[in-house]
């Protein structure tokens, strides 16, 4: 992890989320790149994940919108898998549910939920958010 974080590497801080997604993709055999504008690029064979990560802050709504904006600005083609990584937390459940299903499906947005153990659950573009966000 080469990035600077204001808070420590504990759940639900962004450093924890970043470390967890790096470990997740690394364990699956992906080549990890964290030196670009986005928080994580994971490549394996013909698959490329572009991921923006956020943790809990005092302004979750603002930071969530920033995360989405950063991801949208990075969308260069329809071959990559674009994703946000957030804590599996009630505050982020509310934010994720605000994204219209139509838009999630249109841009093929994947949501990576990170729990307190660092485990990753993927919400695919056509999944029901509530089903995966059980707390």
**CATH code assigned at 41:** 3.40.1350.10
Rg, Å, the chain Cα set? 14
Q: Where does residue 108 fall: left (phi above 0), alpha (psi -120 to 50 degrees), or beta otherwise?
A: left
Burial (Cβ within 10 Å: 0-12, 13-18, ≥19) of residue 29: exposed
Q: What is the mean pLDDT of residues 62-85?
A: 96
Task: Name the DSSP letter for residue 80.
Answer: S
Domain range enclosing 18: 14-127
Residue 25, in any domain of the structure = yes
Whole-number pLDDT of residue 8: 81
Res. 130 pLDDT band, cuts 50 70 90: confident
**Mapping DSSP to helix (H, G, I), strand (E, B) and coil, where does residue 81 land?**
strand
Residue 135, in any domain of the structure = no
Residue 102, token pair as written in the block? 């139509």
Structural domain count, the chain: 1
**Mapping DSSP to helix (H, G, I), strand (E, B) and coil, where does residue 47 land?**
strand
Residue 120, in any domain of the structure = yes
pLDDT at residue 4 greater than cutoff 70? no
- Mean pLDDT for the chain overall: 93
E-strand ranges in the chain read 31-33, 40-44, 47-53, 81-87, 110-114, 120-123
Residue 6, in any domain of the structure = no
Residue 3, in any domain of the structure = no
Q: What is the mean pLDDT of residues 109-127?
A: 97
Residue 80, in any domain of the structure = yes
Q: What is the mean pLDDT of residues 63-77?
A: 95
Whole-number pLDDT of residue 135: 63
């Amino acid at each position: 992890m080469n990035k600077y974080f204001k808070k420590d590497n504990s759940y639900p801080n962004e450093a924890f989320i970043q470390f967890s997604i790096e470990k997740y993709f690394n364990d699956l055999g992906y080549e990890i790149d964290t030196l670009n504008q986005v928080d994580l690029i994971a490549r394996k064979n013909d698959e490329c994940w572009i991921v923006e990560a956020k943790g809990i802050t005092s302004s979750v709504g603002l930071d969530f919108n920033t995360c989405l904006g950063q991801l949208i600005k990075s969308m260069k083609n329809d071959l990559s898998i674009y994703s946000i990584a957030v804590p599996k937390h009630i505050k982020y459940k509310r934010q994720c549910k605000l994204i219209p299903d139509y838009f999630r499906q249109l841009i093929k947005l994947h949501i990576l939920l990170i729990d307190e153990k660092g485990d990753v659950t993927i919400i695919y573009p056509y999944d029901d958010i509530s089903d995966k966000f059980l707390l």
